[in-house]
A and B are shown apart, each in its own frame.
Chain A
């Protein structure tokens, strides 16, 4: 089999895009809902908490160098319990990818293709994702690495072009919904950075050591935290609360607000190219990660034959909800409010068990 080796830069770009995709969906609105004018504070605190979670998880990871989290789970929890946990993780990834597919398809219908049926748009996303996953992990990581600077420039451009509407007063009061709700929602908000744990599931493809993997995770979470902060702050400065808590596609709304004279207005369609490109990458990455987790869980030699079935599964789950509002609510409930339990708490428990039972290679840990 061809050896695939991913560099730290490619891994970081992949994870940043994986996490950052939600900035184009309802994330800025959600944190505004949670923290009111202190939505940015929710982002900051949840980002810092996610870094702590990541450091705890990666601590045990170094005891199993080169092994993916699915294997570590089985080694630590036993084959039966390990299998069960891995299946839960797999189902969660499938669910999140389905909600992302639905929300991006709905966002496209709302913004640029108002007369196209949403399932046709979802099919387009899924076909591209299938092709990308078929090309393989190397292609998706490199695609993310290549497009990362361009996507970053696109986002920065939208934020900068909105400068005539910046109003710092919109961020007051600084504590927003109050200390208690802000702290509480900061814990839920860690779900937004949960994709960083995907690195642990793809460990066998990396050309670098666990120590560098730790740095990649910390860098990715920090980078995207700053991006989320910038987007949420601009969003809250441009669209005052409570209007900012009612927009379904906040980033599109932001790009639509750009007006720099007669010849530079209504350019939201031009920026659609950035967030839809991210959507393609995000859905592909979700499909790929789900396929790799399933492959590792059941010790399958290849994951490519799984792709048609997984694509169909994602498509079906995406359209189980009747309308957009139901999809948004479900995504908020499962993905954001409870997602952190599956993403961070389960790996932390596994780490704890590994430490208690002294599982793993102590020499590797010591070195």
Chain B
């Protein structure tokens, strides 16, 4: 009888003590937020249920299970461990590079409480549960609300582990993560990890981490599910012929768009993390059997070497990796079109995709590639070339027309036929300003209209363009502030600048026309000539990832007929030699098989 009383006392003591300690465990004061107790209360409630179930000797599914024996000494050790952990984290100054998953679930939770500033941080969710094994195993999932797909978490993680398990599953100690990954979780992408840095990167990107009691490993399940923009139409690089798909802000959508168009197992997508604060993914895509290894190495070296806290979009990365950031011209091609990226990849270029941006970078870039448009290749040979010639004219008009106007009107009036000079003089008689002032005023007005048109919402933007261009120009002429011919000059210049296919280089040429105009006002055509000389010098001096910017013209390099004008598609047999691709030949000498003449040697 004494024995039975003593046994009952001990069991009661054990259970009450256990309950007490559990409560204590969930009420450890948080330095960051002492007032919030919702999560703790939930935890307590859940614990109470579990304790009651433990008292009854049943698990959540009503099966009889053995209660977990927790001794006083083991708990104090755990407490000590928790405190030690906290100290360690503080000492590491929240650097989690060397932090590993602890076998104790409590320790891991404490880690996460500190890392994510829980419970202050409201969109970080930790959901505790028991895995319905023969011996119930405590676990919790960690995910970010809004970034992860709740349906996947419920149906593919919690349900299989809590409800759908077969009875009597036993898992060996230390093999929990592996067993669950291989037998219990139906997720398509499940990783076993033990480094916090990796786990946090994935959780911050919408994945769900599962921690287990007694396991120093963690499972990370792919559960990304945030709101995203669907694949839309290109807004900057529109074409009439050709695909109408554009990249969006989701990295995986963008890589998939490229893969969809380039179905090749040699297409490699490498990932690099960037930004110490936003830890964004940067994808490097290339064709393994084509790309110059030195070029690829250089791309990786530049990207990996960047130490900054935030890289938001490709435009930011571009500024970090370009050869010269003060030159007027970009040295990296930016596009929003998957078909354009693919066309460069099959030439041996490397594409860089930054998660969060709808533009993809292509390296290396040359002046000629920046002047090409996707449509050049989709149209027939003569039409494509016509567009290219038109664009070259546009380039010169956009950069030199105001300068020539100023120089001719100021210094070289003899170049203008008499009637025309009389008209110009007559229109100038009412204008109280010198020509250079007129030009600058109108150029500035034009840039203002353009900028305002871009910044304000669509319909109003168009209205501003019309109001600005028509009414302001007309009013300026009638007020006698500018001459009518100048309005024509500025309008043509503006139109030409919009005909340049690359937004960035168009910006550059718009900028240098101001320099040319100043030079023309000071030195006439001599000034323009000097400006062209310096411009050419800077162009030949520029490089893009080691490739000269004016290649393949200066320095001369072997390439297919696709530099200023393009040849016929069947004649583009070789890839550009300046890229040093592993496979130099695109197609055989006779690419059109139907023209094959066996008597003359036929296909290569």
Binding site for B on A (CB under 8 A): 7, 9-10, 108, 112-113, 116, 121, 124-125, 128, 131-132, 135-136, 138-140, 142-143, 145-147, 262-263, 266-267, 269-270, 272-273, 276-277, 280-281
Contacts and interface: CB of A to CB of B under 8 A. Distances in A.
Contacts of A270: 415, 525
Contacts of B555: 7, 10, 142, 145
23 contacts: A7-B555, A7-B556, A108-B526, A112-B524, A113-B411, A124-B527, A128-B530, A131-B537, A138-B540, A142-B548, A142-B550, A142-B554, A143-B537, A145-B555, A146-B540, A146-B550, A269-B414, A272-B525, A273-B528, A277-B532, A277-B533, A280-B529, A280-B533
Contacts of B414: 266, 269
A142 B540 contact: yes
Interface string B400-439: 0000000010011011010000000000000000000000
B121 interface: no
B411 A263 contact: no
Q: Binding site of B, secondary structure by majority: helix, strand, loop or mixed?
A: helix
A269 B525 contact: yes
A281 B541 contact: no
B556 A135 contact: no
A124 B538 CA distance: 17
A157 to B, nearest CB: 16
Contacts of A262: 417
Contact of B541 (A7, A10, A125, A135): A135
Nearest to A276: B529
Contact of B532 (A121, A267, A273): A273
Interface of B: 408, 411-412, 414-415, 417, 523-530, 532-534, 536-538, 540-541, 548, 550, 553-556
A305 B529 CA distance: 27
Given A131-B534, A281-B533, 17 more contacts: A10-B555, A108-B526, A121-B523, A124-B523, A124-B526, A128-B530, A135-B538, A136-B541, A138-B541, A143-B533, A143-B554, A269-B525, A272-B525, A272-B529, A276-B525, A277-B529, A280-B533
A136 B524 CA distance: 27
Contacts of B408: 269
> 5 closest A-B pairs (Cβ-Cβ)?
A142-B540, A269-B412, A276-B529, A280-B533, A146-B554
| Candidate in B408, B528, B530 with the most chain A CB atoms within 10 angstroms | B530
| Candidate in A131, A132, A139, A276 with the most chain B CB atoms within 10 angstroms | A276
Contacts of A124: 523, 526-527, 530
Contacts of B411: 112-113, 269
A270 B416 CA distance: 11
Contact of A128 (B412, B415, B417, B534): B534
| Candidate in A7, A125, A280 with the most chain B CB atoms within 10 angstroms | A280
A131 B540 CA distance: 13
A320 B3 CA distance: 124
Given A112-B411, A273-B532, A139 B537 contact: yes
B526 A113 contact: yes
Contacts of A131: 534, 537
Contacts of A272: 525-526, 529
Contacts of A128: 530, 533-534
A145 B554 contact: yes
A108 B407 CA distance: 14
A122 to B, nearest CB: 11
B525 A139 contact: no
Nearest to A279: B529
Given A146-B536, A272-B526, A273-B525, A266 B556 contact: no
Contacts of B528: 273
Nearest to A142: B540
A257 B100 CA distance: 86
Contacts of B536: 143, 146-147
Nearest to B415: A269
A113 B556 contact: no
Contacts of A139: 537, 540-541
| Candidate in A128, A142, A277 with the most chain B CB atoms within 10 angstroms | A142
A146 B555 CA distance: 9
Contacts of A147: 536
A23 B90 CA distance: 78
B17 to A, nearest CB: 75
A289 B591 CA distance: 49
A136 B526 CA distance: 23
Nearest to B550: A146
Contacts of B417: 262-263
B476 to A, nearest CB: 29
A273 B529 contact: yes
A113 B523 contact: yes
A326 B215 CA distance: 96
Contact of A112 (B525, B541, B548, B553): B525
Nearest to B419: A262
B530 A280 contact: yes
Contact of B537 (A7, A125, A132, A273): A132
Contacts of A145: 554-556
A9 B556 contact: yes
B399 to A, nearest CB: 14
Contact of A10 (B415, B523, B525, B554): B554
Contacts of A116: 523
A146 B414 CA distance: 30
A267 B538 CA distance: 29
Contacts of B523: 113, 116, 121, 124
B389 to A, nearest CB: 16
Contact of B533 (A132, A142, A263): A132
Contacts of B554: 10, 142-143, 145-146
Contacts of B541: 135-136, 138-139
A116 B408 CA distance: 16
A121 B526 contact: yes
Nearest to A149: B553
B529 A266 contact: no
A146 B537 CA distance: 10
A136 B541 CA distance: 9
B529 A135 contact: no
Given A10-B554, A128-B534, A112 B526 contact: yes
A137 to B, nearest CB: 11
B328 to A, nearest CB: 15
Contacts of B415: 266-267, 269-270
Contacts of B553: 146
Contacts of A267: 415
A237 to B, nearest CB: 25
A224 B527 CA distance: 27
Given A128-B533, A142-B548, A276 B556 contact: no
B177 to A, nearest CB: 53
A104 to B, nearest CB: 10
Contacts of A280: 529-530, 533
A280 B534 CA distance: 9
Contacts of A273: 525, 528-529, 532
A281 to B, nearest CB: 7
B526 A143 contact: no
Contacts of A281: 533
